[in-house]
Amino acid sequence: MSAPKKVVLAYSGGLDTSIILKWLQTEYGCEVITYTADLGQGEELEPARHKAELLGIKPENINIVDVREEFVRDFVFPMFRANALYEGLYLLGTSIARPLISKHLVELAHKYGADAIAHGATGKGNDQVRFELSALALDPTIRVIAPWREWSLTSRTKLIEFAEQNQIPIAKNKRGEAPFSVDANLLHTSSEGRALENPAEEAPDYVYQRTVNPEDAPNTPEYIEVTFEKGDAVAINGEAMSPATLLTALNEYGGKHGIGRLDFVENRFVGMKSRGIYETPGGTILLEAHRGIEQITLDAGAGHLKDSIMPRYAELIYNGFWFSPEREMLQALIDKSQEFVSGTVRLKLYKGSVHCVGRWSDYSLYSEKHVTFEDDAGAYDQKDANGFIHLNALRLKLIAARNARVKK
323-382: which residues touch its own copies (CB under 8 A)? 323-326, 328-330, 332-337, 340, 346, 348, 350-353, 355-360, 362-368, 370-375, 380-382
DSSP for 15-33, please give it: HHHHHHHHHHHHHH--EEE
What's the CA gap between 118 and 19, in Å, rounded? Answer: 12
Please, where are the H alpha helices in 197-279? Answer: 243-256
* Contact between 224 and its own copies per CB under 8 A: no
* Contact between 255 and its own copies per CB under 8 A: no
367 classed as catalytic? no
Q: Quick check: helix, strand or coil at residue 350?
A: strand
Nearer to its own copies, 239 or 368 (CB): 368
For residue 200, say whether it is annotated as part of any ligand binding site: no
User: What strand order describes the sheet that includes 62-66?
Assistant: 62-66, 31-38, 6-10, 116-118, 143-145
User: What strand order describes the sheet that includes 343-350?
Assistant: 239-240, 232-236, 222-229, 343-350, 353-360
* Contact between 204 and its own copies per CB under 8 A: no
Q: How far is the CB of 28 from its own copies (least distance, A)?
A: 17
Nearer to its own copies, 172 or 383 (CB): 383
What's the CA gap between 48 and 64, in Å, rounded? Answer: 8
Please, where are the H alpha helices in 229-339? Answer: 243-256, 281-297, 300-319, 325-337
For residue 232, say whether it is annotated as part of any ligand binding site: no
> At CB < 8 A and 24+ separation, what contacts does 176-184 make?
180/207, 180/277, 182/209, 183/94, 183/127, 184/40, 184/41, 184/42, 184/43, 184/209, 184/210
Nearer to its own copies, 246 or 314 (CB): 314
88-107: which residues touch its own copies (CB under 8 A)? 88-89
275 classed as catalytic? no
Among 6, 73, 124, 256, the residue binding its own copies under the rule CB under 8 A is 124
Nearer to its own copies, 170 or 333 (CB): 333
Q: How far is the CB of 316 from its own copies (least distance, A)?
A: 8
274 classed as catalytic? no
What's the CA gap between 212 and 251, in Å, rounded? Answer: 12
Catalytic residue among 16, 139, 263, 335: 16
Catalytic residue among 49, 68, 98, 261: 98
259-298: which residues touch its own copies (CB under 8 A)? 261-268, 270-275, 291, 295-296, 298
- Cα distances from 242 to residues 7, 72, 137, in angstroms, run 34, 9, 29
Nearer to its own copies, 172 or 370 (CB): 370
For residue 381, say whether it is annotated as part of any ligand binding site: no
Site mask for its own copies (CB under 8 A), range 45-84, x = bound: --------------------------------------x-
For residue 13, say whether it is annotated as part of any ligand binding site: yes
The answer for residues whose C-beta is within 8 angstroms of residue 210's C-beta and 6 or more apart is 42, 184, 189, 251, 255, 279, 281
For residue 126, say whether it is annotated as part of any ligand binding site: yes
Residue 131: Cβ within 10 Å count: 24
For residue 205, say whether it is annotated as part of any ligand binding site: no
261 classed as catalytic? no
Q: Within a 13 Å sphere around the CA of 229, how many CA atoms are in the beta-carbon half? A: 9
Nearer to its own copies, 209 or 213 (CB): 213
Residue numbers belonging to the annotated binding site for L-citrulline: 90, 95, 126, 130, 181, 190, 266, 278
Question: What residues are annotated to the active site?
Answer: 16, 98, 127, 181
